[in-house]
Structure formats: C-alpha cells, structure tokens
Structure 1
Amino acid sequence: MKKLVILLIAIISFVSCKEDGKKNNDFILPTSTGNTNRVLVVMKGYDWLNRPGDELRKIFGEHQVGLPQPETLLSVTQIDPSGFGGFIRKNKAVLMFQKSDTTGISITHNKYATPQVIVVATAADEEDMIDLIRNRGKEIIKIFQKEDIKFVQEIFKKERLDPAKFKTLQNLGITIDIPERYRTVDDTGEFLWLRQHLQSGIARGDGTNNILIYSVPLNDETTIADNITRVRDSIGERYIPGAREGMYMITEQAYTPFTYKTTIDHKEAFETRGKWEVKNDFMAGPFLNYTIVDKKHNRLIVFEGFTYAPSVNKRDFLFELEAIGKSMKIK
C-alpha cells in the first residue's frame, strides 16, 4: 500500500511538471525582428503583382509630409503565404491577406514573437480585397504606426534621462522619456535644448537630432494654429543661432507647414510638420512641433524636434522625435 501511494504521488508530480512546462512554454516567445516603419505583407504573388498589390502600394506609398525628400509613410516587403514560416513569422509588423466570406480586419498581438502585431485582412475575392485596401488602408497604417510608437517608447523608458536634472522641465512641471544619449545644449529654466549626434550611416558626425521644450502664454485659443510658425521663428531668433551674426533658425519660407489637431497627455494639441532653415545660410531640415493647450495653467507647452542629416533619409529620425514628444506628461 505504501509503495502504491508513493507511485501515485510520483505520477501526479510528473503530470504536473509536464502541464506546468506546457503553460510556461506557451508564454515564452522569441524576440521579434524588423525595424520601425516597416511592414511585411503576406499576400499571394499573383495578387501582389496585380491590382490588389497596386492599390496597397498606392496607399502605403503616400509620402510623409514635411520631409525634404519623398519618403513613404511605411516601407513594405511582400512574401507569399507559402513562405510565411520559420524565422519569417517573427517579423514585428505583419499584414496578412486571407480569403474569407466576410470582409474586414482583425488584430492579433504577440502570436509568434514579442512584441508583434499582425493585422489579418479578409476578403471574398479580388474586388473585395481592393475595396478593403482602399477604404481601410489608412486605418491599417495608423495601427502599425501606433504600435511602433509604443515599441520605441518602451525602449526609451528603460534608458531615459532624469527629468529632475533639468531646470526647465522642473519649472514647467513636465516629465518626458528622452533617451540618455541626448546631451544638453541649453537649459535656462524657461527653454531646454537637447541634442543627439547621429551615430550611423552617412550622417554620422555631421547629423543631429534636436529637442526643444518651452512654454508661451495662452492668449487666444482661436489663433493658436495660426501663430505656431510665428512663435517658433521668434524662439529660433532668440535661442538657435547660426554660424555668424544675423543667422538663426526659421521656418522655411518656400514650404508651408502642415498643422493637424491631435492630443498629447489627454490634452488638446496641434501637430505641425514642416521644414526649417537657417536665415542667410544653407542649413535646413525637417521639424515636428507639438503645441499643447494647458488650460489649467493658462499656457501653451511646446515640444519641437528637428533633424539635421544631410544626404540621408530622415523619416526614421523624425519618428524617434515623435515617440519622445508623445511621451510628455504635464503636471
């Protein structure tokens, strides 16, 4: 009897270990692969080379506004469903097309790797697929962009500068996740300028990403959008000098910036994308400006990121600045 009890205990322990192991394995996922702003499209080769693929390239090939050279919102590569296996399934962002009686999209997270987002687009036939891409393509793009923002912000949280070390952030009551590779250019208590020297590619040594943070009084809510360019030009003249006297950063006069309504930290805000230049000089590049309405303190909080990276694409540099700006919290 004693031997039987011992045998039963051993069997139960073995089964429990197997079950626990299975549960643990279910949650152990490999790290995903792929860079931000890049999507793997799983679509049959015939569709990719014909009208569905043309429509997808048209939607995803829309240019990001405010960049000196044409760059698409997202970069896409295609693979046939028969090849979607092994390490390919670890891609961080996947758009998968499948045939179904119903037309629509669904979202799955961390199915084959982590972090990962898979958007499954279903359609009954070619015409339905084209209509789906045409009608919901921009929505799909926003899904991938939102996930990329979250992905980048999680990295920055782990390597962030301490906001308590900056007089301007303390005086303005702001916390923000800025990577520690950024260095202080100016911190007056009213104006903060941080700079990161780019460390890769042709821009190495010459290229920089820059962050500006400051506030201005909130005088008239109806004129905020109209005054964004005027405010940033006045800040450029006061704080961002060029190589010689009379040179300073301004909004490029030959290019009209684009301004959109958005939200930052659950507050009304305006997103402006455009190009900057140095007055009486040849330096120029793209900028991204978030002007946030802080009614509680009767002020506007301004976050601006601008890039100087001659001869290289700048979409991904500006995307990093977007992720930083959207991490801002106002006390």
Structure 2
Amino acid sequence: MRKIIAILTVSFLLVNCKNGKGEVILPSSTGNINRVLVVMKALDWSGKPGDEIRKVFGEHQVGLPQPETLLSVSQIDPSGFSSFIRQNKAVLLFQKADSANISIVKNKYAAPQVIVVATAKNKEEMINLIQTRGKEIIEIFKEADVEFVQNIFNREKLDHNQFPTIKNLGIDITIPNKYRLVQDTLNNFLWMRQHLQNGIARGDGTNNILIYSLPLEDETTIVDNITNVRDSIGEKFIPGSREGMYMITEKAYTPFTYETQIDNKKAYETRGKWEVKNDFMAGPFLNYTIVDKTNNRLIVFEGFTYAPAINKRDLVFELEAIGKSIKIKE
C-alpha cells in the first residue's frame, strides 16, 4: 500500500511540479506528427459520425506516389481519456452541448498540445459539424505540427551564413544540421541533402532542399511557369546517373498549385511528382514560390524526396516545415 501511495505521489509531482516562478511545468506530449487522437464514444465511432471523420481526415495528400491520408486518426472512448492518454499531442475531443461549435485548447495536459473541442447536441449536428468544419480542424492540427517540427529544427539549426546563396539572397531559414551541402553556386542556387537514417530506404533514400531566386517579370504568369522553371533548374543542376538524365516534373501527373502566404508575402505552393528523364528514379516534390515585390524577384524553395518502398507523407511534411520557416530580410 505504501508503495502504491509513493508511486501516485511521484506521478502527481511530475505532472504538477512548478518552476521558480510558481508556474506549472507540464509533461512532454506524446504522439507523432500528422496523427490525431479522436475522443468519441465507441458507438459513434463505429457509426456515421466515425465514418464522416474517416472520410474527411482520410482524404489523400496530393503529390505523393502512393495513397496516404492527410492525417492518421485513432479513437478512444471518453471513459479511457485519462492518465497518460491525455498527454497526446493532438486531440479531437467530442462533447455534447446545446450548440455546434469548435474551440481550441492548448497545453492543457501536456506541452506542446492542441485539443480541438467539438460540441454538438446530437449525432446529426455532429456529422454536419465534421462535414462543414472538418477542413478547418485539419488545418489547426497541421499548423500546430508545422510549429512543432520547426521548434525541433530550430534547436539543431545550421548556421546558414556559411552558405553564400542564402547570405546573398538575404533570407533566413531553419535548416536542421542533418542536412549536408551538395552544391552552392555562390550567389543564386543551393542544394542540400539529408540521407535517411531509418526505414527500408535507409542508406539510399534522401530528402533534398533547393533554394534559388528568379526575377519578377510578370506576376500573372507565375503559376503557369512554375513547372517550366523547375524543369530548367533540374536540367541545369540536378543530373542523373548518365548523360542526358536529369530531374523533370513527371509527365503523367499534373501538379497541384495553391495560393498561400509565407513570411506574410504572397506565395504559391505546388505539390507534384518528379522523375529523372530516361531513368526510373521518381518521388514527390513540394515547391514554394514566394513573391518578393520589394526586391522585384521570386524566392523559390523546393523540397523533394527519394525514398523507395516507404511512405513519404511525413518526409514531405518536414520539408514543408523548413520551407515555411523562410524569412526575407528587409
């Protein structure tokens, strides 16, 4: 009995210990990126509300060679949402209430943590809430994961002043120190590569970063030229194993381009697949083309992954977090 009390006391102190300022120090959250714990009654999860969650969250991420969902979800009954389970990094919590709504609670049981509380008075309202605000909920979790990854990378950040291209372009970017230099043209093109350490692709797979700039000539043609520009960069800088081989945009797959913002500037996000001309290498790419009107130019960040036989969603997500860390110095 004394042993049980001692264990409970230690657990209480660990969860509720305070720093010198009297602030509660929360335990570290658990869970991987792009994964959400859904707190919902088992009957609802096996019924239409659960079906709707799996439909909305299970939409495929564009630009990947194999089908992979936007987010991976698992479920637990509210009665089991206690103890260490509550320390999950991303939680979608369903509760009964008089009105349908969502709210965000941060760092309640652990840090970092995002809990999206979804309220509804019956199943019909619950289903409608998922249908109408599901995309919004996904973006909340995605943005939290980007910040989470960026914070990790910031602790192991390379000194980018050692790379002339980054210095000459006048940008700041968080690149983790697991990346190694492949090529730096000293003024306008940088290629860095991370060799994957885990999984089936270990030793063969890579994540890659390209950074370069272009003059801003006609803003109305930016989207139409993204594929042509990346193909010309591939021909010039990304060779294959033999002469006549170089990286191009995969001909059989049309990339998807969306308008977004990076560093509070207009930008375009393009997701698609790359391949090596006259070869069998291929994989997904993510391109951010940032409109820098102040300097009359485009800043381009591109990440591409080569990882045969393994899922690539989370690898591309890491590239997304790096690309979204760009800051253009004024």
TM category, shorter: over 0.9
Q: 1:243, CA displacement in angstroms?
A: 0.1
1:201 aligns with 2:217: no
Provide the TM-score with structure 2 as the length reference: 0.93
1:89 aligns with 2:86: yes
Q: Counterparts of 1:135-284 in structure 2 under 5 Å?
A: 135-189=132-186, 190-284=188-282
Aligned to 2:290: 292
Q: Counterparts of 1:295-314 in structure 2 under 5 Å?
A: 295-314=293-312
1:67-106 CA-to-partner distances (Å, cap 9, x unmatched) read 0000000000000000001110000000000111111001
Pick aligned residue for 1:36 from 33, 36, 45 = 33
Distance 1:26 1:101, change over 3 A: farther
Q: 1:28, CA displacement in angstroms?
A: 1.3
Aligned to 1:111: 108
Pick aligned residue for 1:47 from 36, 44, 59 = 44
1:208-254 CA-to-partner distances (Å, cap 9, x unmatched) read 00000001111100000000000000000000000000000000000
Which SS does the other structure have where 1:34 is aligned?
Answer: coil
Instruction: Give the AA of the match of 1:301.
Output: I
Aligned to 1:12: none
Pick aligned residue for 2:96 from 99, 102, 127 = 99
- Alpha-carbon distance in structure 2 between the residues aligned to 1:226 and 1:185: 29
Instruction: Give the AA of the match of 1:148.
Output: D
- Alpha-carbon distance in structure 2 between the residues aligned to 1:108 and 1:164: 38
1:285-316 CA-to-partner distances (Å, cap 9, x unmatched) read 00000000111111110000000000000000
- Alpha-carbon distance in structure 2 between the residues aligned to 1:54 and 1:142: 20
- Alpha-carbon distance in structure 2 between the residues aligned to 1:25 and 1:295: 47
Does the Cα contact within 8 Å between 2:19 and 2:25 map onto a contact in 1? no
Pick aligned residue for 1:57 from 45, 54, 63 = 54
- Alpha-carbon distance in structure 2 between the residues aligned to 1:90 and 1:63: 27
- Alpha-carbon distance in structure 2 between the residues aligned to 1:219 and 1:176: 25
Query: Could you tell me the percent identity over the aligned residues?
Result: 74
Q: 1:324, CA displacement in angstroms?
A: 0.1
Provide the TM-score with structure 1 as the length reference: 0.93
Compare CA radii of gyration and give the structure with the larger one: 1
Aligned to 1:317: 315
Instruction: Give the AA of the match of 2:37.
Output: L
- Alpha-carbon distance in structure 1 between the residues aligned to 2:167 and 2:108: 41
Which SS does the other structure have where 1:27 is aligned?
Answer: coil
- Alpha-carbon distance in structure 2 between the residues aligned to 1:53 and 1:24: 43
Unaligned ranges ≥5, structure 2: 1-16
- Note the aligned Cα RMSD (angstroms): 1.3
Which SS does the other structure have where 1:244 is aligned?
Answer: coil
Instruction: Give the AA of the match of 2:248.
Output: I
- Alpha-carbon distance in structure 2 between the residues aligned to 1:48 and 1:86: 22
The aligned length equals 312
- Alpha-carbon distance in structure 1 between the residues aligned to 2:89 and 2:242: 46
- Alpha-carbon distance in structure 2 between the residues aligned to 1:152 and 1:169: 21
Does the Cα contact within 8 Å between 2:207 and 2:303 map onto a contact in 1? yes
Distance 1:116 1:244, change over 3 A: same
Unaligned ranges ≥5, structure 1: 1-19
Q: 1:23, CA displacement in angstroms?
A: 9.2
- Alpha-carbon distance in structure 1 between the residues aligned to 2:323 and 2:23: 36
1:42-86 CA-to-partner distances (Å, cap 9, x unmatched) read 000000000000011000000000000000000000000000011
Distance 1:241 1:22, change over 3 A: closer
